[in-house]
């Protein structure tokens, strides 16, 4: 068997070997290779740049395929709205060959516009390449460019507040001036300034201008502001806040709002035997702070009172949302601040990642012992003062700007009279403006609403203002872009209205050009006061008087109105009178009370003389009222004195009339009785003689 197998193998090799050798002389059999190149962006995925920045960016391009990539060309493109340009440096985007798993660095130059809007933009990379057999391939990648712009929004600030009256007392008028600036490179428009903190019984406007409007407020613009105020005659000493709210838009119709604070100090002169604390010389940085930056604020703590102040505590209070926080202690305590002493205070604040791009208000609350003691506990006085710090945090602005919509605002408004008297009619003048630059509004419905108590006891609810021959709801057909419509309403104020500044809501319902329904609302303020009423009784005055002789005049007067009167003064005036001693000051005269005026004057001219009684006082809003009551009196010359009259001559006692003397009538009675007795005796004697004759 073994021999047979050997024979068969010999035969096979004999035939197979010649054919094998022949095939070995030909080309080798090709092997199949499926590996291909693949070019991709490895890094970065996000690049952050600032507006106005110009920079070369390194792009790492890697061949993640298993074959070599030849003739590599990478091209970059950006969306049309991107606020930057891009270009590759020195043709670094063209690479002859990239080995399998190998990488190359390409330099991309990016130039960001200085006015670039903050946001994230996409850059697309398109790769083209071939393999070793010149087969074409392509691929693409994207990465994001995040733009930060600290000045992308208009920065509006109100600075340099100046008060014309440094010692404001109750009833005083004063003017407050300031400068409003656009401190950015961005244009602002439709800038409105409104004032909060106006109250009839505290601080009120002293003229009819209740708002300020600038349609255009371009970069670098600076305007001077001036507002006139009056302090109520019954305002208490202390610090009162006025808030200047500024609203405006940028060129993309994005809305912004900031608040600036000013504290009005009433009763600036220290009261006798009391400490009085002031915060002065506040230095607040005007720049805009980014997240993490420190804003250092300094001020002076002064005791302008006549005695030492104890336990003076200054507390810095920030918003509860955590947008800005103190870096230093928020409380500074001074155990003793002697009169006229000054202490320097310093605080530091920083915006956090929770902050927004806006103005953050910080309240400084000051408390101190005033020297009085109640129930074995020291009484304290306190006041508050505010500052504002501008913050920029573009990372918080993640939402895209909504599509621009037309908006209606109350461009200006005023009342005539400025302060409305309860129980009377008044005119309300308003201007409505379509703030959009290109879109008109149509079918506008305007409604004025207020729902407040009409009495001080809050027992009655209702509308304080009612229309006269009209309605508080009216329609406006259409308002063209940038145009305004004026409206005048005649309103009546209920007699029971509480004296104060009423907030009236103006609601707008309107349509844009595509008939989309839109709504908005604004608030306006109307100041109301109660009418004063001082009645008098009949004036008691003599019909005649004599030159150089004092003459009395009296009458009763009653406060029948619903408000107290202040600084009540009654006096007499007349060309023919000396009335220097006629003035009587009653001061505060409460409602439902009465009193009697008892004055006198001395005529200095003979004849019929005209005079007047002048009654002056202030109402609860500090407005001076005056009543005049005229009278006529006949003045006679004084009795003439004898020429030889001397102060040394004795004064004779005037003789009494005899007809008024009782002795005269007694004597007559004696004479009559004596006569009767004599006559009777004569008759008896005569009768005796006659008897004898008979």
Q: What is the pLDDT of residue 331?
A: 93
pLDDT, tens digit (0-9, with 9 covering 90-100), for 603-656:
888 888 888 999 999 887 677 888 898 888 888 887 665 555 554 455 454 545
Helix (H, G, I), strand (E, B) or coil at 6: helix
Q: What is the pLDDT of residue 444?
A: 92
pLDDT, tens digit (0-9, with 9 covering 90-100), for 528-584:
888 888 899 888 888 788 888 888 889 999 998 888 888 899 999 888 888 888 888
Rounded Cα–Cα distance for residues 434 and 443 (Å): 13
Of the two residues 668 and 139, the one the predictor is more confident about is 139
Strand partners, 179: 159, 224
pLDDT, tens digit (0-9, with 9 covering 90-100), for 578-602:
888 888 888 888 888 989 998 888 8
B/e letters for 387-399, b = 16+ CB within 10 Å, e = fewer, are bbbbbbbbebbee
Q: What is the pLDDT of residue 266?
A: 83
Supply the DSSP string of 118-169, one letter for each residue: SEEEEEEEEEEEE-TT--EEEEEEEEEEEEE-TTSS--EEEEEEEES-SSB-
Q: What is the pLDDT of residue 114?
A: 76
Which class for 668: exposed (0-12), middle (13-18), buried (19 or more C-beta within 10 A)?
exposed
Write phi, then psi, for 20 (nearest 5 degrees).
Answer: -65, -40
pLDDT, tens digit (0-9, with 9 covering 90-100), for 311-339:
999 999 988 778 899 999 999 999 999 88
Q: Which are the contacts of 445, defined by CB distance < 8 A and separation ≥ 6?
A: 473, 474, 475, 508, 509, 510
How many CA within 13 A on the CB side of residue 301? 27
Q: Is the dihedral of CA 418, 420, 424, 427 positive or negative?
A: positive
Q: What is the dihedral of CA 86, 91, 96, 98, to 10 degrees?
A: -50
Rounded Cα–Cα distance for residues 592 and 596 (Å): 14
Rounded Cα–Cα distance for residues 372 and 174 (Å): 32
Q: What is the dihedral of CA 320, 239, 156, 479, to 10 degrees?
A: 100
The DSSP bridge pattern shows strands 54-63 and 39-43 to be antiparallel
pLDDT value at 493 more than 80: yes
> What DSSP designation does 437 have?
S
pLDDT value at 15 more than 80: no
Helix, strand, coil % (nearest 5) of the chain?
10, 55, 35
Rounded Cα–Cα distance for residues 526 and 664 (Å): 86
Q: How confident is the model at residue 657 (pLDDT cuts 50, 70, 90)?
A: low
On whether the CB atoms of residues 492 and 424 are closer than 8 A, the answer is yes
Helix (H, G, I), strand (E, B) or coil at 676: helix
pLDDT value at 18 more than 60: no
Cα dist. 436→187, 215, 423, 521, 524 in Å? 15, 11, 40, 16, 21
On whether the CB atoms of residues 328 and 346 are closer than 8 A, the answer is yes
Q: Which residue has the tokens 């009178």?
A: 577
Q: What is the pLDDT of residue 641?
A: 59
Cis bond upstream, residue 355 (ω within 30): no
Which class for 633: exposed (0-12), middle (13-18), buried (19 or more C-beta within 10 A)?
buried
On whether the CB atoms of residues 61 and 41 are closer than 8 A, the answer is yes
Rounded Cα–Cα distance for residues 185 and 156 (Å): 11
Q: How confident is the model at residue 32 (pLDDT cuts 50, 70, 90)?
A: very low
Cα angle: 399, vertex 405, 407; to 5 degrees:
120
Rounded Cα–Cα distance for residues 255 and 189 (Å): 10
pLDDT value at 401 more than 50: no
39: nearest Cα among 172, 112, 144, 128: 128
Supply the DSSP string of 412-435, one letter for each residue: EEEEESSEEETTSEEEEEEEEEE-
Domains of the chain: 39-148 (2.60.40.10), 156-396 (2.60.40.10), 408-529 (2.60.40.10), 534-636 (2.60.40.10)
- The count of other CB atoms within 10 Å of the CB of residue 147 is 23
Percent of the chain with pLDDT over 90: 19
The two tokens of residue 694 are 């008979």
Q: How confident is the model at residue 189 (pLDDT cuts 50, 70, 90)?
A: confident
Q: What is the pLDDT of residue 659?
A: 56
pLDDT, tens digit (0-9, with 9 covering 90-100), for 87-111:
999 889 999 999 988 999 999 999 9
Q: What is the pLDDT of residue 30?
A: 46
Q: Which are the contacts of 278, defined by CB distance < 8 A and separation ≥ 6?
A: 265, 301, 302, 304
Output the pTM of the full model.
Answer: 0.42
Rounded Cα–Cα distance for residues 32 and 9 (Å): 35
pLDDT, tens digit (0-9, with 9 covering 90-100), for 212-266:
888 888 888 888 888 888 888 878 877 788 888 888 888 777 788 887 878 788 8
Cis bond upstream, residue 617 (ω within 30): no
Q: How confident is the model at residue 350 (pLDDT cuts 50, 70, 90)?
A: very high
Q: What is the pLDDT of residue 504?
A: 86
Q: What is the mean pLDDT of the chain?
A: 80
Cα angle: 177, vertex 183, 186; to 5 degrees:
130
Q: How confident is the model at residue 380 (pLDDT cuts 50, 70, 90)?
A: confident
pLDDT value at 36 more than 70: yes
Q: What is the pLDDT of residue 604?
A: 86
Of 59-73, 119-133, 488-502, least confident by mean pLDDT is 488-502
Q: Is the dihedral of CA 334, 336, 339, 342 positive or negative?
A: negative
Segment 150-172 mean pLDDT: 79
Q: How confident is the model at residue 124 (pLDDT cuts 50, 70, 90)?
A: very high
pLDDT value at 462 more than 60: no
């Amino acid at each position: 068997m073994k021999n047979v197998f050997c024979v068969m193998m010999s035969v096979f090799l004999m035939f197979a070997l010649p054919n094998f050798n022949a095939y070995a002389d030909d080309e080798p059999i090709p092997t199949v290779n499926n590996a291909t190149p693949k070019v991709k962006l490895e890094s970065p995925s996000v690049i952050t740049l600032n507006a106005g920045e110009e920079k070369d960016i390194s792009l790492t391009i890697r061949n993640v395929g298993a074959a070599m990539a030849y003739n590599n060309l990478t091209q970059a493109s950006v969306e049309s709205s991107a606020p930057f340009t891009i270009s590759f440096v020195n043709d670094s985007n063209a690479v002859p060959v990239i080995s399998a798993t190998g990488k190359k660095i390409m330099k991309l130059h990016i130039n960001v516009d200085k006015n670039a809007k903050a946001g994230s933009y996409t850059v697309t990379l398109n790769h083209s390449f071939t393999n070793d057999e010149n087969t074409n391939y392509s691929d693409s990648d994207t990465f994001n460019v995040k733009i930060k712009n600290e000045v992308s929004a208009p920065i509006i600030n109100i600075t340099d507040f100046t008060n014309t009256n440094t010692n404001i007392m109750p009833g005083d008028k004063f003017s407050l001036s300031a400068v409003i600036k656009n401190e950015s490179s961005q244009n602002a428009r439709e800038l409105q300034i409104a004032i909060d903190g106006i109250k009839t019984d505290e601080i009120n406007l002293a003229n009819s201008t209740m708002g300020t409007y600038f349609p255009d407020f371009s970069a670098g613009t600076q305007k001077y502001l001036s507002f006139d105020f009056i302090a109520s005659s019954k305002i208490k000493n202390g610090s009162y806040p006025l808030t200047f709210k500024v609203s405006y838009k940028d060129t993309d119709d994005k809305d912004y709002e900031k608040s600036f604070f000013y504290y009005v100090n009433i009763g600036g002169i220290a009261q006798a035997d009391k400490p009085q604390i002031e915060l002065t010389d506040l230095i607040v940085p005007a720049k805009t702070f980014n997240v993490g930056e420190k804003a250092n604020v300094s001020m002076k703590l002064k005791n302008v009172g006549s005695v030492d102040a104890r336990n003076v505590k200054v507390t810095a209070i920030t918003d509860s949302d955590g947008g800005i926080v103190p870096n230093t202690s928020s409380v500074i305590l001074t155990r003793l601040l002697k009169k006229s002493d000054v202490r320097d205070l310093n605080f530091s604040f920083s915006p956090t990642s929770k902050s927004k791009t806006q103005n953050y208000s910080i309240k400084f609350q000051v408390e101190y012992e005033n020297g009085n003691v109640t129930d074995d506990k020291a009484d304290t006085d306190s006041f508050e003062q505010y500052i504002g710090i501008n913050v920029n945090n573009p990372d918080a602005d993640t939402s895209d700007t909504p599509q621009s919509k037309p908006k209606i605002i109350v461009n200006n408004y005023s009342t005539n009279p400025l302060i409305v008297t309860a129980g009377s009619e008044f005119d309300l003048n308003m201007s409505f403006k379509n703030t959009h630059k290109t879109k008109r509004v149509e079918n506008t419905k305007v409604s004025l609403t207020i729902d407040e108590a009409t009495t001080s006891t809050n027992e009655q609810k209702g509308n304080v203002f009612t229309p006269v021959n009209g309605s508080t709801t009216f329609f406006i057909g259409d308002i063209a872009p940038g145009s305004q419509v004026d409206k005048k309403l005649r309103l009546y104020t209920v007699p029971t209205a509480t004296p104060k500044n009423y907030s009236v809501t103006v609601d707008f319902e309107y349509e844009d050009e595509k008939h989309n329904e839109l709504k908005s609302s604004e608030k306006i303020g109307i100041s109301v006061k109660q009418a004063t009423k001082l009645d008098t009784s009949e004036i008691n005055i003599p019909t005649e008087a004599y030159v150089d002789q004092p003459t009395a005049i009296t009458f009763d007067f009653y406060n029948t109105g619903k408000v107290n009167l202040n600084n009540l003064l009654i006096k007499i005036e007349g060309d023919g009178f000396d009335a220097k001693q006629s003035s009587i000051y009653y001061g505060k005269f409460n409602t439902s009370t009465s009193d009697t005026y008892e004055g006198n004057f001395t005529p200095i001219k003979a004849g019929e003389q005209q005079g007047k009684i002048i009654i002056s006082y202030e109402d609860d809003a500090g407005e001076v009222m005056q009543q005049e009551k005229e009278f006529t009196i006949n003045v006679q010359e004084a009795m003439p004195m004898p020429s030889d009259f001397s102060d040394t001559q004795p004064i004779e006692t005037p003789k009494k009339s005899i007809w008024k003397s009782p002795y005269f009538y007694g004597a007559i009675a004696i004479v009559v009785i004596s006569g009767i007795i004599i006559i009777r005796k004569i008759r008896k004697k005569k009768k005796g003689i006659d008897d004898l004759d008979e």
